Each structure stands twice: as C-alpha cells, then as structure tokens.
Structure 1
Amino acid sequence: MGDIVGLEQAAFMEGRDLFDNSMLAHELAAKYNRKLLTPRCMLKVDIQKAFDSCSPEVTSLSVTAVSKCLDLFASISGLRVNPMKTNLYFGGVPPQLKALILSATGFLEGELPARLMHEASILLPKGIAKKITRSCMRFHWGIADGHQKMIFKSWDSMCLPRKEGGVNIKEILSWNKTQLMTWIRKLEFDSNTIWVKWIKVYILKGQSIWEFQPTAAHSWAIHSLISCRDTIIQHTGSLVNARNLLCKPDFIIQIYEVLRPKGLPLSAYKTLGDTLNFPKYTVIGLLAVQNSLSTLDNFCLRGIPLANRCALCQCQTENRNHLFFECAFSSVLWLAVARWFCIPAITSFPRLLRWFKECNRGVSLFKR
C-alpha cells in the first residue's frame, strides 16, 4: 500500500504519522516573515494545502497553475474551493507581484501568526508546563469554595512511581521530552515519511542527527529536538547508550524512566500496590505510610486553628497513629483482622512497616 499511496498521505497509513505533515508545514512556514527572503508563497485551501517557493519570474504563473488544478479537481470531484477558508501567504514577494497574483486567483491574502509559528514548539515552554501542572493539581486535589484544598504531599512526590511513594502521575516536562525522542528515532531508523526525507535533505544535509548542531537560522522545532537529544545523552552517559535505548521496543518507557524524577524505594509498595488491591486504597495506604493524610494534626501543623480531637472516641488528638492503631474503634478492627489472617496484632506504624517487609519476602498477603 505504501508504494501506491504517496508520502503526502500521512494519516490512516501504517508506519506514518499525521504530525509528520504538521512538522513539515512548520518548517516551511517558519521563515516567511523574514525581510531578506527569496520570493515565495503558500496556498491554503479547504481541501488540501500546497507549498510553493520559486523565483519572482515564475511565482505568478505557478500560483495560477495551482488555481487551474483546483478548478480541474472541482470539475471532476465536485469539491470546490471554499473562498471563506482559502488564503494566500506571501514571503519576500514585491507588492506589485502580490497584487497581480491576488487579482488572478481571486484569493484573499492571509497573515501568518508569526508569533504562534515561532513559539508553537513541540518542546513545551516552562510557563505552559506549569499551567498544565497546576490544572492537574486542581483536578487531583480538588477545589472547595473556589480555593484549592490543603495539600499534604508535594506534587513532585506525587509524580513518582508507587514503588517510590508516589501515585505514578507523569511529570509533564520529562514526559514531553520523552515523546520528542520519537522524532529522533524516526530520523535514525525511518526514511519512509516525507518529513524525514525533507529534514535529511534540507536540514541535516548528509549529517547524522547525533552530530548535527543547529544554528540561529533553524526553527524552534529543530532546536527542541536537538535539546532533547543532548538531554538524553547526558542522562544515559554516552551517545552509544542513547542510541541503544532508542533501539528497544519499549523505548518510550525506558527513556521516561531515565528522565523522570527519582525517589527512595518504599518498602510497603509490593503489598500496597498488589494487583488484587483497589487503586483508591493503594493511594490512601501510600499516603498513610508517609504520614500525608488529611488528619487534624497535619492541619494544625500548617497553621490552621482546629480543635484537634478524634471524631470517633473524642478522647485523644487525631493523628495517623491514633486513627489506625490507638483509637478504641481501630483497635477492635485490628484484632478482628489479625484473627482472620492469623497474624500477630499490629499496634503501630513502625511495626506495620516491618511486617510489610517480612511479608514481601515471599508471596504477598493478598494473594495468600
């Protein structure tokens, strides 16, 4: 099928990516707003896009020819150009020639969003990454009366995997750089897409993606890819290790594992994160182990004046140890659990963690 369908058709073809054409369009339009530029124009229609760069002598003839091709296409298929969504974009074209082209085609002149085209980088700017992170935080923690709820655990620690005390949320910048490495992998191993062919001919010019160094003339997208390339080389220790990482079938997982923030292993993870457990209870258990639950003592430590008294027994202050082990209600529950599983009575969190560690030497408790 790939031999029949042209490389311009990126969607709905195995091994091709719809974003290939978007990346190519970004590269072609990146320099259109520069003053010293050879005359060129770009035509956007409602049913297809055509990019054309040529000398002033043939620019008008080329655009007219494209217009006639669209008319022929319309006569055959019945799909006509929508004038409300069709624009001509010029770069380095003299005003007289521009007026002649617009008059001959009947199209409107469009203005490229120069700022958007330069900043629509595939590497997320830190400001945008922070906004995305704040949105994720509000979704995760919740909002009460228009204000974000009290947080007892940093977002960085929440982005750690469960085995390190987090809840396995993707850290946005590390994940973004990981996704960018798919483009490096295409340039290294794939040559059957129009974007790869164009980059190799007009950008790399015979160089390897691993040795290429961009200049100020290259687009922000190219600078983003090279920045991510250098980051993964730095984290893996060498160019050879970075290339070997891209060769692996699960390279996305492997690269994110290299780039993500790191934490200390949590001894209770294997039991709390058991596949037979529920995710909600796993998160609560991990927060309890790290003393990050919304208990009254944690509110008081953060300067919120509340009457710190256990809501169950009304006798002692409310903290993690009291709620789980010292309260009369929780003590009765633990005794029943100990009899059910035939285990020693658990009376404190340090003892619970030691029991978790001993339990994880073999088959976990839930599977037993």
Structure 2
Amino acid sequence: MSVDKTSIYYAGLKPLEMEEISTSTGLTAGSLPVRYLGVPLCTKKLSMLNCAPLIQSIKSKFLTWTENAVICWKVTIDFNSCLAEIDALCSKFLWKGKLEGSAGAKVAWEKVSVPKQEGGLGLRNWDSIWATWYLAEVLDGNINNFWVINKKQKNSWLANYLLLQRETVFDWIKMAVGNGETFYFWSSNWSPFGSITKYLRGQSTRNTGIPITVTLAELWEQGAWHLPPARSEGHVNIQSYLSTIELTNEADTYHWIPQGKLSKAYSTRDIYNLLRVLHQQVPWSKEVWFSNGIPRHKFLSWLFVLNRCPTKDRMVEWGADTDPVCILCNSSLESRDHLFFNCSYSWEVWNSVAARSGFTTPREWDEILTELEKFKTPHHNRLLALLGWQAAIYCLWAERSGRLHRSRFRIPPDVIKEIHTIIKLRIAAIRIGNPQLASVLFQAWHS
C-alpha cells in the first residue's frame, strides 16, 4: 500500500480517536464523496448523474474494441436505471458494432446471456458487490445476521435482494460448530435438521423458552447444554443431536457445499448457474460452438439456427415493402430454409463443399443439422464438415447481401473458391497450436 496515495475515512468516532488512528497509521483523513471506478462513493443513494463517468468509461472502452471483440463483462450498480443503460450499451455494441442509434437486436439480451448449450450466446450478467461494505453496513459487522436481519428501506434494492435469497443459499453454507459464539440456534445451518425455525414450525420462541437471538454458546454452561424441557418430538430430536456435540475453544467454521458436496474454493460460474433460470439444453450447441471454428461464422450460424436474420420472408412479416423472391435463384420465395439449401445456387455451393469434407448431405435445413449432430467420426472429417457448413452459410449470406445492397453478382464456383481459401487459412491457423491435426485436415481436404 502506498501511504501517500491512501486516505482513511471515519464515521462515528470522536476527534481524539481519529487523531490517534491517523498518527499511528500515517494516513490522512479523507472526506466523501470520493470516486472509485469513476463512481462517487457517498452516504446517499447514487443518481444517474453520479454514474455518468462510469457510463462514459464503458462507452470509451467499447469504442476501442474491434468488431470481433467479445463482451465478457458487465459492471453493475445498485439501481435499475444504470443497469438498463449498461445493458443498452452492450446490446448496441453486440449488434451494430457502435453505440449510436437503436440497437436493432436480433436476439433479446435475456436470451443472449443464456449458456450456449441452452441456445444462447453465453454472455454473463456479472454483479460486482462490495462484500466488506455489505458486511459492515447491512449485516452490522456480523455475517450471521444475514439469516435473521430484516430488509430495510435505506438499503439499496440489491442489498435487500440478497437478503431475499437466504432460503436459496441456506443449504449451500454448512456450519461446523466450534465455540458456538457466532451460530444462532434458530436460524444458522448448524444441524442436520436445517433451519430450526422451519423444523419446529408452529412452535414459537415463547413456547420453547429459547430466545430468537440466542447463540449456541449461550445454551452451553459449565461443559453441558442447558435447555428447556422438550415439548415435542422435534425438540427431542434436536436435544438428542446436541448431546453428541461439545463446544470447544476453536472458532466456528463454515463449509461451502453449493452442489451438495464440499468445495474448497468459491466458483462464480457454479453459483451463477445455480442462481440463474435454467433452460432446456439444445441438441445443436456443439455443431454451432465447436472448437477450432471461426468466431464470426459461429455467431452467424447461431443466428440462423434461431432464425433471427432478416430474410425476406421475415421482412414481409414485419410489413417491409420488399420483393420476397430469392435473389440467388429468382425462382422461389426467400426464407432461411430455402437459402440453406433448397435454392439451386446455394445447393451447388454447399453440395461441393460437403462432398470435399466427406459429408453426405441432405438438402433440408433441419435434416442437415440432424445429420451433423450424428456425424461424429472421424474427428477431422467432422471438423471439416462443420467448418464447411458454417463457411457456406457465411459466404452465401454475404453473396445474397452483396447482390441486394451493392449489385455485386458472383457465380457459384467463385463462392466455392472463396470457401476453399477460408478453410485452408483456418487449417493454417490450427497448425500453430496443433500441427498434427492440421496435417490430417490438410490431407483430407486436398484428397
């Protein structure tokens, strides 16, 4: 720590006490508000105006990223308006590559944050919480107050929201009794019965003679448990279990068991997956998000699997005044399933690429996806088939857009040649990390 760059902030202390602390530590006293990550720390609820520097910082970060950058983080502040503004920025950058104008999102942000195995993009909604502040201000310096403290109007919505999650996380935190000084008899998870309040449902503290705020240490006197007479079978079971426990001089400890088994480390990913709403897994995630794929090709394929790209049939449904005929073959109405690969133009391209990768392909979109899911061996042929399938989607969509917006027309052999070049370059990139796989891919592709 740099003493010259560090200040100390006091609350509730007398001037003499503050002077003694400053003298002994060498730190100068600071005053609120002070900025941290561009946001002022103060004693009052922050407004959107207070968070303007943070929003601007996020905007500047987006502007420095390339169009291929991945949004892998999200800053969170304790109020909804700032969250909504940050979500809007992330959405604009993801779908437009810039922050001006409307986002025009093809997939809702809630869907984007769903894992890839469940049909989303796998971006996470990160929540950054100042644990030390929460412990001191919301829990009054005692972590076990988390189980008994009530919501307060002065708390932020996030602080109160965490209190509402007590039932969800109760079973994840198992307590090993030591001296019993920090474990509440009624609310802490110290016994195999879970919450004693729930276990003895209907029996009030007045009926049992045990106060709501009593700790285990307060029920232990001179090496023995001192409990009121049991008045129910549940109370008998609790007393029987307590008879197997003796308090010691060791501090109480916590065991972290979020998935029913002891864990030595906290995993944000595991807790995120436990807290979020689970969706049914999709069968096509490994075909879209396979290893060694090309990121922009995978992203576009994901959009087409969800049928979220602006094909002409969807534009007509939106009320757009557009010619619905496929611009590649000029013989049928354009839709996702027609473009890939009922269209005679696109079929010539895809059939050639599939044959070169050793994949016997059907022509219908759903059937192709099903066959790719079944196409497991050999590994290098499967990888070539997936690379070719996604490259065909990408290049054919680019050809369609080029004809529609720039009047640029190419014949199928030119598109096939472009796909061959893309796959050869991808194999060359794979050679850097896995030369053996690259060699097999290169031989198979040119055989």
Of the three residues 144, 154, 157, the one matched with 2:108 is 154
Matched, 1:49 2:8: yes
Closer, same or farther: CA 337–88 of 1 in aligned 2, 3 Å? closer
Contact 1:334 / 1:346 at 8 angstroms: preserved in 2?
Answer: no
Aligned counterpart, 1:307:
323
1:136 alignment partner AA: C
Q: For 1:273-284, list aligned pairs within 5 A.
A: 273-284=289-300
2:155 alignment partner AA: W
Structure 2 residue matching 1:116: 3-state secondary structure: coil
Q: How many angstroms apart in 2 are the aligned matches of 1:243 and 1:267? A: 33
Aligned counterpart, 1:220:
155
Of the three residues 331, 350, 354, the one matched with 1:338 is 354
Contact 2:328 / 2:345 at 8 angstroms: preserved in 1?
Answer: yes
- 1:30-66, CA deviations, whole angstroms, 9 ceiling, x for partnerless residues? xxxxxxxxxxxxxxx97522426345xxx4x567778
Q: How many angstroms apart in 2 are the aligned matches of 1:252 and 1:167? A: 18
Of the three residues 267, 270, 280, the one matched with 2:286 is 270
Q: How many angstroms apart in 2 are the aligned matches of 1:113 and 1:198? A: 14
Matched, 1:329 2:345: yes
Aligned counterpart, 1:249:
265
2:339 alignment partner AA: L
Q: How many angstroms apart in 2 are the aligned matches of 1:256 and 1:48? A: 35
Closer, same or farther: CA 136–248 of 1 in aligned 2, 3 Å? farther
Q: How many angstroms apart in 2 are the aligned matches of 1:146 and 1:285? A: 26
2:7 alignment partner AA: Q
Closer, same or farther: CA 311–261 of 1 in aligned 2, 3 Å? farther
Q: For 1:1-368, list aligned pairs within 5 A.
A: 47-51=6-10, 53-54=12-13, 59=15, 69=23, 114-116=44-46, 124-142=78-96, 147-148=101-102, 150-170=104-124, 172=125, 175-176=126-127, 179-180=128-129, 183=131, 202-204=140-142, 208-214=144-150, 216=152, 220=155, 224-225=158-159, 227-228=161-162, 230-231=164-165, 233-234=167-168, 238=171, 240=173, 243-245=256-258, 247-249=263-265, 251-360=267-376, 363=379, 365-366=382-383
Structure 1 residue matching 2:268: 3-state secondary structure: helix
C-alpha RMSD of the superposition: 4.5
1:164 is displaced (CA, Å) by 1.5
Closer, same or farther: CA 145–230 of 1 in aligned 2, 3 Å? closer
Contact 1:143 / 1:149 at 8 angstroms: preserved in 2?
Answer: no
Closer, same or farther: CA 311–216 of 1 in aligned 2, 3 Å? same
- 1:211-235, CA deviations, whole angstroms, 9 ceiling, x for partnerless residues? 2314649x626x845632542642x
Q: How many angstroms apart in 1 are the aligned matches of 2:19 and 2:266? A: 49
Q: How many angstroms apart in 1 are the aligned matches of 2:275 and 2:135? A: 29
Contact 2:92 / 2:102 at 8 angstroms: preserved in 1?
Answer: yes
TM-score (norm 1): 0.58
1:152 is displaced (CA, Å) by 3.3
1:281 is displaced (CA, Å) by 1.2
Contact 2:117 / 2:282 at 8 angstroms: preserved in 1?
Answer: yes
1:282 alignment partner AA: K
Query: Per chain length, whose mean CA-contact separation is higher, i.e. which structure has more relative contact order (CA < 8 Å, sep 6+)?
Result: 1
Contact 2:139 / 2:146 at 8 angstroms: preserved in 1?
Answer: no
- 1:74-96, CA deviations, whole angstroms, 9 ceiling, x for partnerless residues? 9xxxxxx8xxx97599xxxxxxx
- 1:234-259, CA deviations, whole angstroms, 9 ceiling, x for partnerless residues? 2x684558941294535211011122
Give the unaligned 5+ runs of structure 2: 34-41, 52-75, 175-254, 385-440, 442-447
Structure 2 residue matching 1:294: 3-state secondary structure: coil
Q: How many angstroms apart in 2 are the aligned matches of 1:159 and 1:197? A: 29
TM-score (norm 2): 0.49
- 1:158-204, CA deviations, whole angstroms, 9 ceiling, x for partnerless residues? 2211112111121x3xx32xx54x83xxxxxxxxxx87996799532
Contact 1:159 / 1:167 at 8 angstroms: preserved in 2?
Answer: yes
Structure 2 residue matching 1:203: 3-state secondary structure: coil
Closer, same or farther: CA 212–144 of 1 in aligned 2, 3 Å? closer
1:274 is displaced (CA, Å) by 1.0
Closer, same or farther: CA 51–167 of 1 in aligned 2, 3 Å? same
1:358 is displaced (CA, Å) by 1.3
- 1:236-291, CA deviations, whole angstroms, 9 ceiling, x for partnerless residues? 68455894129453521101112224333221211221111112111111221221
Closer, same or farther: CA 255–52 of 1 in aligned 2, 3 Å? closer
Closer, same or farther: CA 258–63 of 1 in aligned 2, 3 Å? closer
Q: How many angstroms apart in 1 are the aligned matches of 2:289 and 2:31? A: 56
Contact 1:141 / 1:148 at 8 angstroms: preserved in 2?
Answer: no
